[in-house]
């Protein structure tokens, strides 16, 4: 158990819909990262938040947005969903902004039909 909690574990929805994925980092961790893993792909970096502030954006679509709340949990919002958005979405946390390994949650599997 990494201490990172993601909900929901599985989500099935239709094209055009909007979903929210939730992440609770390890206790005391201020950094939250979101990654997407599509079929046969590695983990693609989406976005990084540190203590409520956005620190970096990766290959995140404009239809996707995220935020980190004062209690440090984070949400990833995916809107106008397309079939190609079907993927595993991982959240990871770390204590600081720079050093150490990332601790990953179990992921949220999104299926868009």
Q: Which residues bind other proteins (CB under 8 A)?
A: 2, 4, 33, 35, 40-45, 48, 50, 55-56, 58, 90, 92, 97-99, 101-107
- CA-based nearest residue to 32, from 49, 46, 51, 54: 49
Residues contacting 12, CB < 8 A, separation 6+: 111, 113
CB of 50 to other proteins, least distance (A): 8
- CA-based nearest residue to 35, from 110, 104, 111: 104
CB of 15 to other proteins, least distance (A): 26
CB of 43 to other proteins, least distance (A): 4
Q: Is the CB of 13 or the CB of 88 nearer to other proteins? A: 88
Phi-psi region of 63 (alpha: psi -120 to 50; beta: other; left: phi over 0): alpha
Distance CA 11, CA 108 (A): 7
Q: Is the CB of 79 or the CB of 88 nearer to other proteins? A: 88
Q: Is the CB of 73 or the CB of 79 nearer to other proteins? A: 73
Q: Is the CB of 75 or the CB of 106 nearer to other proteins? A: 106
Distance CA 67, CA 112 (A): 22
CB of 32 to other proteins, least distance (A): 12
């Amino acid at each position: 158990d990494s201490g990172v909690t993601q909900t929901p574990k599985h989500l099935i929805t239709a094209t055009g819909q909007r979903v929210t994925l939730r992440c609770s980092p390890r206790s005391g961790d201020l950094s939250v990262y979101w990654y997407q893993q599509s079929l046969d792909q590695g983990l693609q970096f989406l976005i990084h938040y540190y203590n409520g502030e956005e620190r970096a954006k990766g290959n995140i679509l404009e239809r996707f947005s995220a935020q980190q709340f004062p209690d440090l949990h984070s949400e990833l919002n995916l809107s106008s969903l397309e079939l190609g958005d079907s993927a595993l979405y991982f959240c990871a946390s770390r204590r600081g902004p720079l050093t150490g390994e990332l601790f990953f949650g179990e992921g949220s599997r999104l299926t868009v039909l």
